[in-house]
C-alpha cells in the first residue's frame, strides 16, 4: 500500500495507486438486490458518495476494459455468479451535477449544457453506429455541438439512454451524483421555481416508464420533497 488517497474520489485511481481502501463493495450487492427502479441515497457532504458512485460505474460498465482487476480480492467477488455476472454487463451513464449552479436560471442552463456536452463526448462513437437512425444522430449532434435548446436539454438523458440501449442491446444503468446541487443553488439565488419546473421534466422524462433503463442511482444531501421531483409537471 502507498498510503491514504486523500481527496481521491475515482475508484480506479485509488485501486491502481494501491491506496488504502475500506472495502465497500457489498454496496454493489445492495444495489443489485434493491428492486426499486430509482434508488436515492442521501448522506452528508464528504461522506464518500462520489467514490461509491465511481465504484458502481467501474463495476457495471460494459464499455470499460479490464475492470475485473480493480475488484480482485474484494468482497463482491466472493458473492456468487448472481452478482459477479453483472460485472461489465450494462452500458453506464455517470453524470455529476456538482457544477450545475450559477446566479440565474439562464446561466444554470448554460452550465448544464456544458456538463451534457462532456457526457456526450464520452459516447461520441455512437455517431459511427449503424444501429442508429440519421435523425437520432442529428439529435445527438445538436447537444454535442452546443446547439441544444431548453427542450433538448430536458430530454438529453432520455435520448442518450435510448441510443445506448439500441447500440448495446442492454438496459442502461444511470448514475447521477449530487442530483440536488442545482436546486439548492437555485433556492439561494432566487430562481427556485424556474429550476424546479425544469428538473421535474428533466428527471421525469428520464425515469418515468422508461423501458431502456435497468436502474437509476442518485446521491445527494437533500431528500425529495413531498411533491415528487421525479414525476413530470402537469
Q: Average pLDDT, stretch 184-212?
A: 93
Q: How do the domains of the chain map onto residue ranges? A: 25-220
Residue 176 per-residue DSSP state: E
Q: What is the pLDDT of residue 198?
A: 96
User: What's the topology of domain 25-220?
Assistant: Rossmann fold (3.40.50)
- Coil, strand or helix: which one is 175? strand
Q: What is the pLDDT of residue 109?
A: 96
Compute the distance between CA of residue 38 and CA of residue 218 in angstroms, rounded to an integer: 8
Cell 434508488 sits at which residue? 39
Compute the distance between CA of residue 31 and CA of residue 41 in angstroms, rounded to an integer: 11
**Mean pLDDT across the chain, nearest whole number?**
89
Q: Convert the pLDDT of each residue in 70-82 to its tens digit.
A: 999 999 999 999 9
Q: Which residues pair with 172 in a beta bridge?
A: 213
pTM of the model: 0.89
Q: What is the pLDDT of residue 114?
A: 95
Classify 225 in phi/psi space as left (phi over 0), alpha (psi -120 to 50) or beta.
beta
Residue 145 per-residue DSSP state: T
CB 154 within 8 A of CB 205: yes
Q: 9 vs 170, which has greater pLDDT? A: 170
Amino acid at each position: 500500500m502507498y498510503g491514504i488517497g486523500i481527496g481521491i474520489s475515482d475508484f480506479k485511481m485509488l485501486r491502481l495507486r494501491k491506496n488504502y481502501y475500506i472495502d465497500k463493495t457489498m454496496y454493489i450487492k445492495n444495489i443489485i438486490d434493491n428492486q426499486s427502479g430509482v434508488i436515492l441515497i442521501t448522506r452528508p457532504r464528504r461522506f464518500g458518495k462520489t467514490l461509491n458512485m465511481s465504484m458502481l460505474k467501474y463495476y457495471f460498465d460494459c464499455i470499460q476494459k479490464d475492470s475485473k482487476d480493480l475488484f480482485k480480492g474484494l468482497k463482491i467477488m466472493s458473492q456468487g455468479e448472481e452478482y459477479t455476472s453483472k460485472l461489465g454487463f450494462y452500458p453506464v451513464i455517470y453524470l455529476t451535477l456538482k457544477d450545475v449552479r450559477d446566479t440565474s436560471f439562464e446561466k444554470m442552463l448554460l452550465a448544464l449544457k456544458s456538463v451534457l456536452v462532456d457526457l456526450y463526448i464520452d459516447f461520441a462513437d455512437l455517431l459511427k453506429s449503424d444501429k442508429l437512425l440519421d435523425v437520432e444522430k442529428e439529435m445527438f449532434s445538436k447537444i454535442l455541438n452546443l446547439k441544444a435548446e431548453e427542450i433538448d436539454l430536458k430530454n438529453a438523458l432520455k435520448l442518450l439512454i435510448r441510443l445506448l440501449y439500441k447500440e448495446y442491446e442492454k438496459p442502461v444503468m444511470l448514475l447521477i451524483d449530487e442530483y440536488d446541487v442545482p436546486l439548492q443553488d437555485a433556492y439561494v439565488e432566487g430562481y427556485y421555481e424556474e429550476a424546479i419546473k425544469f428538473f421535474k421534466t428533466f428527471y421525469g422524462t428520464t425515469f418515468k416508464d422508461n423501458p431502456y433503463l435497468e436502474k437509476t442511482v442518485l446521491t445527494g444531501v437533500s431528500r425529495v420533497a413531498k411533491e415528487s421531483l421525479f414525476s413530470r409537471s402537469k
